[in-house]
Structure 1
């Protein structure tokens, strides 16, 4: 079985749920304390052993690519100022000789199309897809858990979590055939079903390890739900020849495509960061006291 060594990260979305903050900069560059959202995703990819990272960008996406480039003038200034630790943190995810590659999605035709835009880089081998809107914190990293299941079972492996019945219309939902509590075998994914027809409550979220057959299916995949080319439709076309499994990951997911989810993620990171933990706890206590007094 071929090793998974490439992660595709689509960053071409408009970020409409994060306006006006995302008007002039990609939402993936919004900081979660001292690191932009995209850096958390790249760190997870590298922790899972990814050798190549493909950023699928759109218009205005150069800031994301630039973030992972070297900045000689800044590096020189930090070095002369003796700010060694800051310099190391700034460069920890800089491109190391072609590890980070960018491709352009000229037209926004859906997630499936964004992934297909990376086909020449991925080639005919299994690959990962990571959606940076979903910040998943925890150990082991979510993508590492998926890669481990893929190494054991092969096929297509997706991250899933139990969603509320009324929320099934916002997710691709697994049609489960067997479930051991961690890994669920599936005979397909139903894209955004109404609650009354949803085959389960296991919703697919932000991380995938996919068989090369999915990339081949995307080459001529017609538009699906919402008039867009859906990644889940291409996965469905590889069934039943290619098995599909969903993995309940051990970390916690934050929907950073929404304002509420982004605030929760920021707070979670701030409470663990040595430079901000005390201030975050103090502010939470102040607000708790204020609410108690007002009640």
Structure 2
């Protein structure tokens, strides 16, 4: 049973400057809930009980968010705001959450390598904090089921337009059945002409602990960073890696336009503001 997950959260979030100068990108809200909470909730819903977050300079707010605030809890209790009290207590009780610092920003591969001592000799999931999924079966759970079946590393896959392949790690594989593929090659941010497919690695992974040995040996690649895709390509020479075409709806929070769209979509589902937001959107549409 896979019970541990790693959430890298040390990046600068330069695409969302200037807000990320003082606010961690993981704490930017979708309506009233920070992105990082959706990611943690997905991990927990997938059977994860132990989460390690890799944080860096300026990320103290992430650590504080998942810690208890006794003063706030006391205030809410005194004001008989029990619904709000239950909400903030649930945040701290979701899982055992730990933190380790990545002192230098050397890429995703380096961030994951910081989890080695905590993970030990166990398989583990990796969830990136700039993507939210909604699905009947949590997408991390979809990967866990395949990883446990084949006893191998597994990545989540999403089809992207061919003119966008240079933004992602790309998966080339043979279809085994249904939505499961076996990897033949993995390429980090290829050009359109270099890309072996349009299947992007979609921010979710399950790794065997062997990945750490390959991360140690992986030299800096694209952007002079240690790329997890490069380490996976090396791992592929020693063990099989599988890909799962994810069943669910993806929201790319790392893109400004997609971030705004996500806030609108989630806002329309809010009990307190949903109808008012829909009415405003209808009025706005008539003016455009």
TM superposition score category, shorter chain reference: over 0.9
Residue 214 of structure 1 corresponds to which residue in structure 2?
Answer: 211
SS at match of 1:223: coil
SS in 2 for 1:185: strand
- What CA distance in whole angstroms lies between the structure 1 residues aligned with 2:239 and 2:91? 34
TM-score, normalising length: structure 1: 0.94
- Cα deviation, residue 54, structure 1: 0.6
Aligned equivalent of 2:112: 115
The yes-or-no answer on 1:205 pairing with 2:196 is no
Q: 2:144 aligns with which of 139, 142, 147?
A: 147
Higher mean C-alpha deviation, range 70-79 or range 227-236? 227-236
Query: Unaligned stretches of 5+ in structure 2?
Result: none
Partner residue of 2:264? 267
Partner Cα separation in structure 1 for residue 239 and residue 203 of structure 2: 20
Aligned mates of 1:182, 1:275 — CA distance in 2: 38
SS in 2 for 1:76: helix
Q: How far did 1:133 drift?
A: 0.3
How far residue 75 of structure 1 moved from its aligned partner, in angstroms, is: 0.1
Asked if structure 2 preserves the Cα contact closer than 8 Å seen for 1:187 and 1:240, the reply is no
The DSSP-based 3-state class of the residue aligned with 1:219 is helix
Pair 1:185-2:182 in alignment: yes
For residue 85 of structure 1, the aligned residue among 66, 79, 83 is 83
Cα distance in structure 1, aligned partners of 2:99 and 2:265: 30
Provide the C-alpha distance between the structure 2 equivalents of 1:215 and 1:277, rounded to a whole number of angstroms.
45
- Secondary structure of the 2:217 match is coil
Supply the RMSD in Å over aligned alpha carbons.
1.4
The answer to whether 1:127 aligns with 2:142 is: no
Structure 1 Cα separation of the partners of residues 284 and 77 of structure 2: 40
Unaligned runs of at least 5 residues, structure 1: none
